[in-house]
Structure 1
Amino acid sequence: MAADPTTLGLLLAGGLARRMGGGDKPLHTIAGRSMLAHVIERLSSQCAGLLLNANGDPVRFADYGLPIIADDVPDFAGPLAGILAGLDWLATNRPETEWLVSVAADTPFIPRDLVARLHAAREEAGVPLACAASGGRTHPVIGLWPVSLRQDLRHALMVEDERKVSRWAARHGVAMAEWPAEPVDPFFNANQPDDLAEAERLYAMLGNA
């Protein structure tokens, strides 16, 4: 079986975390480590490097040692703006790398086979994009993006004011890679304070698997 194309990982931490009371959701801890640290540990071995998309003062993420990139699109335009920032960084700094995988930085149980299965899904379907799904729900932000579509994405954001990941992806063709949601949904994310307690419970069940 051929190796997967070289892929860079993008951790999306640019949200406003209103339901969590503000602040940076990925810095909340589970089992003594930030959710961001859990995501980094799970994704780093799958990628040729990682980027962190975050707006505001980058110093708060300095301890993680990752390149930190902010949105170029103003007014917190959502995850598509973060994906565009990642694609632009890749085109400038790693032009030999054609693929970017994005994950939410508050999803501490990201699958260890995420990148391989996303590539397999898009190849099997013959389409340029892939995103994750579990338990009958799609997770458009957990997706695979080719650098070749970055100018189309820029036009969608800047000219069409498109903000919905799934709607933009559907234009080009997007495959779904499905994971079971039991016993632990690998795409569980912590949006509210009560979710942190649930994440602790799930981590105890899952361990380091």
Structure 2
Amino acid sequence: MSGTIHILGLILAGGLARRFGGDEVHAVDKARLILAGRPLLAHVRGRLAPQVSALALNANGDPDRYRDQGLPILADTVPGYSGPLAGVLAGLEYARTQGGHTHVLSVPADCPFLPQDLAARLAGAAAPGGVACATSGGQRHPVVALWPVDLADRLRQALVEEDVRKVGVFLAGQPLALVDFAVEAIDPFFNINTPDDLDAAAAFLSKGLAPAIQA
């Protein structure tokens, strides 16, 4: 990509965490789960913050529960827990109001081992006006992606008028670059969906397979 880009890092914590017992009435704050003595959010933030110009958190429900983080808290701007695309839209629309941000880098709040060169590699691969998405081990990670802010109106149309909910379906209609990250000791996009995953992540850290990074 030519030219200068300015990236807002967006941590997606707006889901219901159903496999941890969450539902539409009582969403579980997966970002608050403790991994190696620190909330998952702290692990993600520690890896993402040095790579971007600013951070924001997409979270639904009472925003006060995250006020201690000192981050802008962005609720979905479309109703009904519409999935990560709604969180991305909230980030794009927020970035547009702030001025200066050309892109949003979305990452889930349950991926504590993000690559430290994630933003640079996605930015280097993205075509003008296009999205760049991470892959590893033969799998796409569509919510780990760099989105141009100018895509906000098109994404809102897809969500509200076309009822698109799956990130992959939306990306199929956009210029898309795929950037592969090596799986070495662990997959850098290992995500925590279940209590067993949380235990596995703790084991990775205790064995030194994924160094902890402080926020």
TM-score > 0.5 by shorter chain: yes
Deviations 1:71-119 (A, max 9, x none): 01100000110011111111112x2211100000110001110000111
- For the pair 1:69 / 2:74, whether they are aligned, the reply is yes
Map residues 52-201 of structure 1 onto 2, 5 A cutoff: 52-93=57-98, 95-123=99-127, 128-201=130-203
| Greater mean alpha carbon deviation, residues 199-208 or residues 109-118 | 199-208
Instruction: Tell me how many residue pairs correspond in the alignment.
Output: 206
CA pair 38-3 structure 1, distance change in 2 beyond 3 A: farther
CA pair 120-60 structure 1, distance change in 2 beyond 3 A: same
Q: Is the helix fraction higher in 1 or 2?
A: 1
Distance 2:49 2:211 in 1: 18
Deviations 1:120-162 (A, max 9, x none): 1224xx6611111110000000001001111010100000000
Contact 2:134–2:179 (8 Å) recurs in 1: yes
Given the two structures, how large is their TM-score scaled by the length of structure 1?
A: 0.94
Q: After TM superposition, what 4+ stretches of structure 1 lie above 3 angstroms from structure 2?
A: none
Deviations 1:42-68 (A, max 9, x none): 100100100000000111111111000
**RMSD over aligned Cα atoms:** 1.7
- The match for 2:212 is 208
- For the pair 1:36 / 2:41, whether they are aligned, the reply is yes
Amino acid at match of 1:91: R
Amino acid at match of 1:54: A
Given the two structures, how large is their TM-score scaled by the length of structure 2?
A: 0.91
Describe the SS at the equivalent of 1:171: coil
- For the pair 1:16 / 2:21, whether they are aligned, the reply is no
Amino acid at match of 1:135: G
> Unaligned 5+ residue runs, structure 1?
none
Distance 1:35 1:208 in 2: 11
Indicate the percent of aligned positions where both proteins have the same amino acid.
50
Describe the SS at the equivalent of 2:66: helix
Contact 1:4–1:119 (8 Å) recurs in 2: no
Contact 1:109–1:186 (8 Å) recurs in 2: yes
Contact 1:127–1:174 (8 Å) recurs in 2: no
> Unaligned 5+ residue runs, structure 2?
23-27
Amino acid at match of 1:179: F
- For the pair 1:49 / 2:54, whether they are aligned, the reply is yes
